A and B are shown apart, each in its own frame.
Chain A
Amino acid sequence: MNENTKLILAVAVTAIICIAGTYVAVGGSDGDDSSGTTLSVAGSTTVFPLMGLYQESYEKYTNVTLEVTGNGSGAGANAVINGTADIGMLSRDLKQAEIDAGLKSTIIAKDGVAVIVGSGAGVTDLTLEQIAKIFSGDITNWSDVGGTAGTIAVTVRDAESGTRDCFDTVMKAAYSSYAIPDSANEVGGSGAMVATVNGNATAIGYVSLGYLGQLTSGSAVKVEGVDATPANVLNESYQIQRDLILATMGDPSGAVQNFFNWILGPQGQQIAAKKDFVPVGSVTV
Chain B
Amino acid sequence: METESIQTESRFHSDTVTKYLLMGIAAIAVSIVFFIILFIFGNSIGAITDVGLTDLLTGPRWRSSEGLYGTVPIITATLLVTAGAILFAVPIGVAAAIFISEVAPSRFKSVLKSISEVFAGIPSVIYGFFGLTVLVPLLRDTFPSHLLMGYSWLAGSILLGIMALPTIISVSEDALSAVPKSYREASMAMGATKWETTIKVVTPAAISGISAAIILGIGRAVGETMAVMMVCGNSAIVPDPIFNVFSRIRPITSTIALEMPYVVIGSTHYSALFFLALILMIMVLAISMASKIIVNRTRRKFGETENKPSLTGIIVAKLPVPLVNGFKNALVVAGLFLIAYFISLTFSNSFGAVLIGISVTVAIVASSLLWLNRLKNEGVSDRPRNPSEFIESIPVKIKAVSRNIITYALVITVVFMGASLFYDDVVAFMAGLAVAAAYVTLRSVFRRIDSRVVQKVAHTALLAVMIFAILLLVYILADIFIEGLPMITWDFLTGYPKDAGRAGGIYPAIVGTLKLIVGSMVIALPLGMITGIFLAEYAKDTPFTRTVRNSIDILNGTPSIVFGLFGMSAFVIYFGFGNSLLAGCITLGLMVLPVIIRTTEEALKAVPGELREGSMAMGATKWETTVKVVLPAAIGSVITGVILSIGRVAGETAPIMFTAVIMYQRVMSHSIFDPVMALPYQLFYLATEGMGSPAMQSAVATVLLIMVLSMFTLASVVRHYFDKRIRW
Binding site for B on A (CB under 8 A): 1, 5-6, 9-10, 13, 17, 20-21, 23-25, 27-30, 32-34, 38, 40, 45, 48-49, 51-53, 55-56, 59, 65-72, 74-75, 78, 81-84, 151, 153, 155, 158-160, 182-192, 194-196, 198-200, 202-203, 214
Contact = CB atoms under 8 A, between A and B. Distances in A.
Contacts of B263: 78
Nearest to A52: B500
Nearest to A75: B262
Contact of B499 (A53, A74, A158): A53
B500 A67 contact: no
Interface in B507-547: 507, 511, 514-515, 517-518, 521
Given A71-B261, A74-B262, 13 more contacts: A1-B725, A24-B515, A34-B670, A69-B661, A70-B663, A71-B262, A75-B262, A78-B263, A82-B573, A188-B688, A191-B690, A196-B149, A203-B149
Contacts of A20: 514, 517-518
Contact of B639 (A10, A27, A187): A10
B528 to A, nearest CB: 15
Contact of A67 (B149, B234, B665): B665
B596 to A, nearest CB: 14
A71 B664 CA distance: 12
B189 interface: no
A200 B137 CA distance: 9
B265 A70 contact: no
B667 A34 contact: yes
Contacts of B258: 158, 188
B70 to A, nearest CB: 11
A42 to B, nearest CB: 8
Contacts of A203: 148-149
A25 B670 contact: yes
A52 B149 contact: no
Given A74-B262, A183-B235, A183-B248, A195 B514 contact: no
Contacts of B248: 183, 185
A34 B669 contact: yes
Contacts of A199: 137, 149
Given A34-B669, A194-B690, A9 B498 contact: no
Contacts, number: 173
Nearest to A98: B264
List the 10 closest pairs (A to B, CB-CB), nearest first: A195-B690, A191-B689, A75-B262, A153-B148, A52-B500, A159-B65, A74-B262, A160-B262, A21-B518, A49-B500
A118 to B, nearest CB: 10
B656 to A, nearest CB: 13
B690 to A, nearest CB: 3
Contacts of B635: 6, 10
A64 B664 CA distance: 15
B641 to A, nearest CB: 12
Residue from A1, A13, A25 whose CB has the most chain B CB atoms within 10 Å: A13
B231 to A, nearest CB: 12
Contacts of B514: 20, 23-24
Given A6-B725, A186-B234, A45 B689 contact: yes
27 contacts: A6-B635, A6-B636, A6-B725, A24-B515, A28-B511, A34-B668, A48-B663, A52-B498, A52-B664, A56-B499, A59-B667, A68-B665, A69-B664, A70-B663, A75-B261, A75-B262, A84-B572, A153-B149, A182-B236, A184-B235, A186-B233, A186-B234, A188-B258, A189-B688, A195-B688, A199-B137, A203-B148
A155 B494 CA distance: 37
Given A13-B639, A199-B137, A65 B669 contact: yes
A72 B579 CA distance: 17
B666 A55 contact: yes
B134 to A, nearest CB: 12
A192 B690 contact: yes
Given A6-B722, A84-B572, A68 B662 contact: yes
B622 interface: no
Interface in B330-354: none
Contacts of A48: 500, 663-664
A103 to B, nearest CB: 12
A64 B539 CA distance: 54
B665 to A, nearest CB: 6
Residue from B73, B264, B498 whose CB has the most chain A CB atoms within 10 Å: B264
A41 to B, nearest CB: 9
Nearest to A14: B639
Interface string B255-285: 0001001111100000000000000000000
A28 B518 contact: no
B655 interface: no
B151 A185 contact: yes
B634 to A, nearest CB: 11
Residue from B261, B511, B643 whose CB has the most chain A CB atoms within 10 Å: B261
B237 A183 contact: yes
B237 A182 contact: yes
Contacts of B718: 9, 13
A28 B149 contact: no
B594 interface: no
A194 B689 CA distance: 8
Nearest to A81: B264
B64 A65 contact: no
A153 B148 CA distance: 6
A190 B689 contact: yes
B648 interface: no
Contact of A17 (B65, B494, B521, B664): B521
Contacts of A68: 500, 662-665
A142 to B, nearest CB: 12
A151 B668 CA distance: 48
A65 B261 CA distance: 22
A37 to B, nearest CB: 11
Contacts of B664: 48, 52, 55, 67-70
B578 interface: yes
A33 B63 CA distance: 45
Residue from B635, B642, B663, B666 whose CB has the most chain A CB atoms within 10 Å: B666
A182 B639 CA distance: 50
B227 to A, nearest CB: 15
A183 B664 CA distance: 32
B123 interface: no
Contacts of B233: 185-186
A82 B430 CA distance: 59
B25 interface: no
Nearest to B148: A153
Contacts of B636: 6
Contacts of B34: none
Contacts of A25: 670
B691 interface: yes
Nearest to B73: A182
B262 to A, nearest CB: 4
Contacts of A196: 149
Contacts of B639: 9-10, 13
Interface in B586-609: none
Contacts of B515: 24
Contacts of A23: 514
B61 interface: yes
Contacts of B572: 84
A116 to B, nearest CB: 13
A10 B642 CA distance: 12
Contacts of B665: 67-68
A160 B66 CA distance: 12
B674 interface: yes
A67 B512 CA distance: 13
Given A24-B511, A159-B64, A190-B689, A38 B669 contact: yes
A67 B264 contact: no
B675 interface: yes
B63 A69 contact: no
A20 B665 CA distance: 20
A67 B580 CA distance: 12
A160 B499 CA distance: 24
